Amino acid sequence: MSNSPDAVIIGAGHNSLACACHLAAQGWKVAVYEQSDTPGGAVKTGEYTLPGFRHDWAAMNLSLFAGSAFHTGYAGELAENGLAFAPTANPFASVFPDGRWLGISNDTALNTARVRGFSVADAAAWAALTEAFPEEAESVFAVLGTPMNLRAVSSLGWKTWRKRGGGGTLDLARFLMMSPRAWLDQTFESEHVKATLAAWGMHLDFAPDIAGGAVFPYLEAMAGQAFGMVLGQGGADTITRAMVKMLHARGGTVHCGQTVTAITHASGKASGITLSDGTVVEARKAVIANVSPSALLKLTGGTNAPRHDQAMQGFQHAPGTMMIHLAMDALPNWTAPELKRFAYVHMAPSMDQMARTYAQAKAGLLPDEPVIVCGQPTVVDPSRAPAGKHVLWLQVRMAPGQIKGDAAGTIAQTDWADAAEPFANRALDILERYAPGTRANILGKHIVTPAMLEADNPNLVGGDQVCGSHQLHQHFMNRPARGFADGTTPLKNLYHTGAAVWPGGGTGAGPGTMLAKKLAGK
């Protein structure tokens, strides 16, 4: 094993690459193996419709990466390797059937005025949230950035108790357990304001009535106001390309088109991986698997630790997502023209509608009115399309991984290959209602079903873009299972990372960065 890498990493998603880069920076020799022909996992960009139109395959919002511990530590080196951001002061908005809209911009006075247009009381509530955000954010981000082991959690609990007192600490714990609806009903009176914020819960498997989901609408609203939103210049794959170059410069390697079929281990210790052609790659210090829990179980063949293996087998995934990539002759003709300034426009008119959509998808039904996230990246970054043209990035949430029926009773097909077009048309009909004439400006279209997302990236089981539900039973110290939220496994030298591991999904690269620091000791 003298010429073997110190660490072999399965998968080249952004968590893998962040982990690999940090280990390489600490002197480790690292080799990454990726089954796809291109690195990046869900964070990649391509011309999926027409030449010159660059579409983000799945992830578009890079705000979490821009504010991450990894980027903070390596910003200069990443920039030298081509990382470039495209910031916007108008991160998101919601549009409603009555023609009204609410947008959140990087302007406190403007946002407060917009909220006041719906409710004077809500404007006062918004102002109070804004004033408290710096102090509250410090506590919330401390939780989300803490390794989930007993020592770290105990230390955080003590520090929080000393700073906030007993009552304040219990209030924070209560907030972290609240559902979006419970917090929003407690905080605001306007249903429009509530729906605008609740839409963010649907990005992370938190329908309005799911416990533990309040923190995400809160953070997206307040952080969007405080910092705006960050996209990738030229595409979200700017982070992938920069990390690959950074890794290569430090002597690491990325091998694409290489499927790992097994993790080799004996006597309770992992020693390497086996590729589909039979090649065995040994690792001197660590085998790191950025895979779904069920895939980890399959690759190891079991770890002889029943509780862990049962947890991997029973790990639960969120409903899927359909992506619709559109090459456009013009931006949508929104009924409210101001919406053309925003990076995201949510079509999620009420918390009741979101709850119904989620329940339908969980039951295996194509929702009668899915939640639509309309990304308008060329508003922020015109380089993604030819001059005067645009791309639209549509997320259709929620969608069942396996179709059992149609909630509207009009789509008979239950195979995604056949249901894709009619379900996409349902989503485009919704967009057309809010922006009449949009269809006439479509130059090219590429539909990506939940089944296609999983085929491209096996971690996205059933099209679940966050590799596992973030609900309380599967979050914090339970992600992916009690005792293994720090990336360890029952096998010595085998480690687990990626969105299935704490702190979970998103582009913040937290799981990979935390694991790398744990392994390197700093």
The pLDDT > 70 percentage for the chain reads: 100
DSSP state string for 371-420:
EEEEE-HHHH-GGGSSTT-EEEEEEEEEE-SS--EETTS-----SHHHHH
Q: Which tens digit of pLDDT belongs to each residue from 297-313? A: 999 999 989 999 999 99
**Mean pLDDT along residues 156-178:** 84
Q: Which residues of 411-440 are buried (b: 16+ CB within 10 A; e: fewer)?
A: beeeebeebbeebbebbbebbbebbeebee
How far apart CA 267 and CA 275 sit, in angstroms, is 21
Do 241 and 216 fall within a single domain? Answer: no
Closest by CA to 506, choosing from 296, 180, 239, 313, is 239
For the stretch 428-480, pLDDT in tens is 999 999 999 999 999 999 999 999 999 999 999 999 999 999 999 999 999 99
Query: d(Cα 475, Cα 506) in Å, to the nearest integer?
Result: 14
Q: How far apart are CA 452 and CA 396, in angstroms?
A: 14
As a whole number of Å, the CA-based R_g of the chain is 22
Has residue 249 been placed in a domain?
A: yes
DSSP letters spanning 226-275: HH-EEEETT-THHHHHHHHHHHHHTT-EEEES--EEEEEEETTEEEEEEE
The answer for residues whose C-beta is within 8 angstroms of residue 473's C-beta and 6 or more apart is none
| One domain, residues 157 and 214 | yes
Long-range contacts of residues 294-300, Cβ cutoff 8 Å, at least 24 apart: 294/461, 295/458, 295/459, 296/489, 296/496, 299/10, 299/260, 299/261, 299/262, 299/263, 300/262, 300/263, 300/265, 300/270, 300/489, 300/491, 300/494
Tell me, yes or no, whether 72 and 152 share the same domain: no
DSSP SS3 for 325: strand
pLDDT number for residue 146: 81
State the pairing for strand pair 320-328/390-399. Answer: antiparallel
pLDDT 10s digits, 33-59: 999 999 999 999 999 999 999 999 999
* Residues counted in the chain: 522
Residue 177 and residue 187: Cα distance in Å, rounded? 15
SS3 string, 76-106, reads HHHHHCCCCEEEECCCEEEECCCCCEEEECC
Q: What is the pLDDT of residue 154?
A: 81
- Do 138 and 213 lie in one domain? The reply is yes
DSSP 8-state assignment for residue 347: E
CA angle, 415 then 419 then 425, to 5°: 170
Main-chain phi, psi angles of 13, to 5 degrees: -70, 175
Q: Are residues 144 and 167 in the same domain?
A: yes
Please state, in angstroms and rounded to a whole number, the distance separating the CA atoms of residues 257 and 134: 45
What residues contact 409, with CB distance under 8 A and at least 6 apart?
none
Helices (H), 117-149: 120-144
Residues spanned by the domain of 259:
7-41+66-82+235-315+468-520
HSE-up (13 A, CA, CB side) for residue 250: 23
219 phi, psi to nearest 5 deg: -65, -40
Rounded CA gap, 488 and 91, in Å?
36
**Boundary (domain end) residue, out of 181, 200, 222:** 222
Q: Do 206 and 241 have their domain in common?
A: no
Instruction: Tell me, yes or no, whether 185 and 263 share the same domain.
Output: no
Q: Quick check: 1 pLDDT over 70?
A: no
Give the tens place of pLDDT for each residue, 63-121.
Answer: 999 999 999 999 999 999 999 999 999 999 999 999 999 999 999 999 999 999 999 99
Instruction: Give the position of tokens 């290569």.
Output: 248
| Residues 202 and 264 grouped into a single domain | no
Please tell me whether residues 149 and 204 are part of one structural domain.
yes
CATH number for 76: 3.50.50.60
pLDDT (0 to 100) of residue 139: 82
**61 assigned to some structural domain:** no
**Residue 5: both structure tokens together:** 């890498």
Is residue 119 a part of any domain in this protein? no
- The pLDDT confidence band at residue 167, using thresholds 50, 70 and 90, is confident
Q: Are residues 257 and 193 in the same domain?
A: no
Q: Is the dihedral of CA 429, 433, 436, 441 positive or negative?
A: negative
Q: What is the mean pLDDT of residues 382-405?
A: 97
8 Å CB contact between 198 and 351: yes
pLDDT in tens, 127-147: 999 999 998 888 888 888 888
Task: Decide which of 190, 222, 254 is a domain's last residue.
Answer: 222
Tokens of 508: 């913040």
204 & 254 share domain = no
Residue pair 208/215 in contact (Cβ under 8 Å)? The answer is no
Q: Are residues 198 and 255 in the same domain?
A: no
| Last-in-domain residue among 162, 187, 222 | 222
Check residue 379 and give its pLDDT. 98
Domain count of the chain? 2
Say how many CA atoms lie within 13 Å of 313 toward its Cβ: 11
Residue 416, in any domain of the structure: no
CA torsion angle 63 87 51 203 (round to 10): 30
Decide if 291 is inside a domain. Answer: yes
DSSP letter, residue 488: B
Please state the pTM of the whole predicted model. Answer: 0.95
Is residue 491 assigned to a domain?
yes
Distance CA 18, CA 516 (A): 8
As to burial, measured by CB atoms within 10 angstroms (0-12 exposed, 13-18 middle, 19+ buried), residue 287 is buried
The span from the CA of 142 to the CA of 170, in Å, is 15
The two tokens of residue 474 are: 């599967």
Contact present, 268 and 127 (Cβ < 8 Å): no
Whether residue 78 is contained in a domain is answered as yes
Query: Is residue 330, in this structure, part of any structural domain at all?
Result: no
